[in-house]
Amino acid sequence: MTNRTKSTRAKVTEAVDDVIAEATQKARRARASASAGTERVAHDAADLARSLGNRDVVDDIRDIARRHPVATVAGAAIAGAVLSQILIRAARR
């Protein structure tokens, strides 16, 4: 390999490493954001359960889902994954 080829290879390797590091950071931030959103939805749901009274539960759940759509979808995906794992493990027994 020539010096120029080695130099180019080193630059490409460094650029790829930088892209991987940046993607990893963005994935961590997205995961933290989704987690925070899920916590907000859980908090809102707990507040709803405490203040039910004469209000319609379905309307309140829809309101929470409208205010936090990403967290609602993330929560539903997590719940689905957990439920599927429970059902898969139960079927294996």
Cβ–Cβ under 8 Å, residues 74 and 34? yes
pLDDT tens for 3-23 read: 777 777 777 788 877 778 888
Residue spans per domain, the chain: 3-92
The whole-number pLDDT of residue 6 equals 76
Q: Is the pLDDT of residue 54 over 60?
A: no
What distance in Å separates the CA atoms of residue 72 and residue 10, rounded to the nearest whole number? 44
Average pLDDT over residues 60-87: 87
The whole-number pLDDT of residue 47 equals 73
Average pLDDT over residues 33-41: 71
Q: Is the pLDDT of residue 53 over 60?
A: no
In the chain, what percentage of residues exceed pLDDT 70?
Answer: 83
What distance in Å separates the CA atoms of residue 37 and residue 11, rounded to the nearest whole number? 39
